[in-house]
Structure 1
Amino acid sequence: MRIFSFEKLIAWQKSRELAMLIFAETKKFPKDELFGLTSQMRRCSVSIASNLAEGSGRNSMKDKARFSEIAYSSSLELLNQVILCRDFEYLDENQSILIREKITEVNMLIDGLYKSQISNIE
């Protein structure tokens, strides 16, 4: 079985773990949030990993970097949603801290990837 380049990226691996965590936590949300925050947070978490994967298939470093920017932005959007979920008491303090730490880790990895990509733009 072929392993694609994005599968080797630690940023992608960690963003995949983050998406799995978000799916697990949002299963516990109120049913009336199914088409609100639950859906939004799930799409957002999937978007992080998806943009890293899509960017890896681009030919130019400029394009790769753009998709890393989009992934980073999606992670910030997810962080905002986690903060709101804490405000609404959908997440307890320990859950929100855990998710926030995972988002921070993913952000640092994406930032490093982005800096590497833009340093290689001609």
Structure 2
Amino acid sequence: MKFKFEGLLIWQKGMDLGENMNELADTFPQKEIYNLSSQVKRASDSVALNISEGSILQSGPEFRKFLGYSIRSIAEVVTCLHKAKRRKYINETTFETYYKDCFDIMNMTIAFRDKIK
């Protein structure tokens, strides 16, 4: 048995993003543990969490709303990545890799949301 969201590529990629950001945040300085580290972890986890929550027992419009929350969380992750780069916690290559992941997940989620009635 599976929950239907487990088969969604956007959920799977959202799960990967959460794990990647968790690992990345653990490399930030200790002074960021309650600030940027915590924020990027929570925002990235929210991507998959909102997809799963919205998919269960929700109407189409309600699911679309939760997908919107997921998209906003992706934007929050991107802003955290910019902050991490500006503070020199990550290099340009790392930034570009995760930025592209976020951009791809965002576009996939928007396309999926646009198909829901």
Normalised TM-score (structure 2): 0.97
1:7 aligns with 2:24: no
Gaps of 5+ in 2: none
Deviation at 1:26, TM superposition (A): 0.9
C-alpha offsets along residues 30-72 of structure 1, whole Å, 9 cap, x if unaligned? Answer: 0010000000000000001000000001331000000000000
Are residue 25 (structure 1) and residue 24 (structure 2) matched? yes
Please state how far the C-alpha of 1:112 moved relative to its aligned partner. 1.0
* Unaligned stretches of 5+ residues in structure 1: none
Identity of aligned residues (%): 24
Equivalenced residue count is 117
Q: CA deviation at 1:105?
A: 1.2
Tell me the equivalent position of 2:44: 45
User: How well do the aligned residues superpose, as a CA RMSD in angstroms?
Assistant: 0.8
Q: TM-score, normalised by structure 1?
A: 0.93
Match of 1:80 in 2: 79
SS at 2:34's partner residue?
A: helix
| Partner of residue 69, structure 2 | 70
In 1: Cα distance, 2:30 partner to 2:58 partner: 43
AA aligned to 2:77 is L
Q: Partner amino acid for 2:31? A: D
Runs of 4+ in 1 over 2 A off after TM superposition: none
Number of the residue aligned with 1:95: 94
Residues 1:116 and 2:115 aligned together: yes
Q: The residue matched to 1:35 in structure 2 has which SS?
A: coil
